[in-house]
Amino acid sequence: MYLDVADLRTFYDLPLGQLLRGLIGEHVRLMWPDLTRQSLLGIGYAGPFMRPYLGQAEKCMAAMPAQQGAVPWPQERETAAALVQDASLPFSDAVFDRVMMVHALDHCSDASAILEEAWRVLAPGGKLLAIVPNRRGLWSQSELSPFGYGRPYSRGQLKDLLRNCHFEILDDREALFMPPTKARSVLRAAWTWERIGRRIWPAFGGLLLMEAEKKVYRTIPSNGNKSPLRVLKPVFVPKGAPVGLKPVRRTDAGPTSV
C-alpha cells in the first residue's frame, strides 16, 4: 500500500530525509553519472533523486501513482509531474531512455504489472534503476523512514522479479549503512558509517539499488520436431535452372537437394 504523498514530501524536507537524500543520491549518481540528451521517467516518489538531472537530461517526468497522490514537481519550474495508474501509464511505447523507481516496487499491489509498464515505455536498450528496502537491512524494520513501511526485497528476489519482466541485470549495490536513528551523534557520522559499511558489512545495507536493461527477445518459430534453425534455412531454385528442378536448401556445408 502506498504512503500518502504529503507524508513523503514532509519526510524528505526533514533533516533526516535530507540526509538520506544525499546518502542515497550519491549511489544513484555513481550508477548514472551522465544523462545528457536522455529522457528520464520517475515512478513512485523519485523526485528527490531526479533533481540532479533536471539541468542535464533532455526531459524529466515524475509519474506519481493515484493511490499515493501527486504534488507539483519540481517546485522551481513548470511542473513535470503526472497522476497515473501505476499499471497503466499514460505514455506511448518506447519513449523514455531511463526509468527510476523509488517507493514504487515496495508499495505497489502488483510489482510485475508496474515493471511491465516500465518495460513498455522504455526504449530498446533503455535502463531502469530500482531502489527498494533491503530485507537484511535495519531500515526495513524501522518506521523512521518510508522504507520501513513497504515490502522489502532480498537481492535474489529483486533479480528474479526483474528477469521475469524481461530485464537484464547490469549492476547492483547497497546503500544506507548507518543505523536507523535520530541520534545526532550518529547522524553527524553518517558519511563515515557509509564508507565503513561498504567495506565491512556490504550485504546489510538498508537499501538495494539495482540497474537493469530492457531486452527485446525474438522467438524463433518451430515446425513439429524440426529444428528451428533448419526451418529458417532459405530454400531457392538456382537462376536459369530447368523447370521441374528440385529446389535446393542452403546449409553450412553448401547447397543440397531437397
> What global pTM score does this model have?
0.82
Grid coordinates given for 88: 497503466
- pLDDT, tens digit (0-9, with 9 covering 90-100), for 201-234: 878 899 999 999 999 874 444 444 444 444 444 4
pLDDT at 130 (0 to 100):
98
What is the pLDDT at residue 49?
97
Task: For the chain, list residues with pLDDT below 70.
Answer: 218-258
Q: Domain locations in the chain?
A: 5-214, 228-257
At residue 1, the pLDDT reads: 83
Directed axis angle between helix 15-31 and helix 190-200, to 10°? Answer: 40
From the candidate CATH numbers 3.40.109.10, 3.30.565.10, 3.40.50.150, 1.20.1600.10, the one assigned to the domain spanning 5-214: 3.40.50.150
Spatial distance between the Cα atoms of 153 and 210, rounded to a whole number of angstroms? 11
Amino acid making up residue 156: G
